[in-house]
Structure 1
Amino acid sequence: MSKRWSYKVVEVKPQWLGIKPKQLEETLAALGQQGWELVSVTTNGMNAMLYLKKEI
């Protein structure tokens, strides 16, 4: 049987003076605890778009 996936896109908006690595780490850690796996990252202006998946 093939795997089934659920997908999520999260927009991380910058704090003062842009997105800080610590801000991304905290966001990814919280999502990882929920079972989400980071697949890709893009930027949209000053925002980071995180693309995630998890097996259902």
Structure 2
Amino acid sequence: MSDRWSYKVLELKPKLLGGSVTVRLEDELNRLGKLGWELVSVTHMHFLEPIRCVLKKEN
């Protein structure tokens, strides 16, 4: 197994009240990007399900 990459899964759950999902997602991705994380993929199956983002960072 390679030690080259670390992976993180970010789940952004929908909120009935609160900020826009787009704004919250952008803020969180920008925060993680500053820490060296790079977005690899995004899945979102249903509007009631969380948005799942897979990120990677070189060790």
Query: TM-score per shorter chain, which class?
Result: 0.7 to 0.9
Where in structure 2 are the equivalents of 1:1-56 lying within 5 Å? 4-16=4-16, 20-45=21-46, 46-56=49-59
Q: TM-score, normalised by structure 1?
A: 0.80
- Classify the secondary structure of the residue corresponding to 2:56: strand
| TM-score between both structures, scaled by the size of structure 2 | 0.76
| Runs of 4+ residues over 6 Å off in structure 1 | none
Count of residue pairs brought into register by the alignment: 54
**Structure 1 spans left out of the alignment, 5+ residues:** none
Give 1 or 2: higher strand fraction.
1
Structure 2: runs of 5+ lacking an equivalent? none
- The CA RMSD over aligned residues, in Å, is 2.2
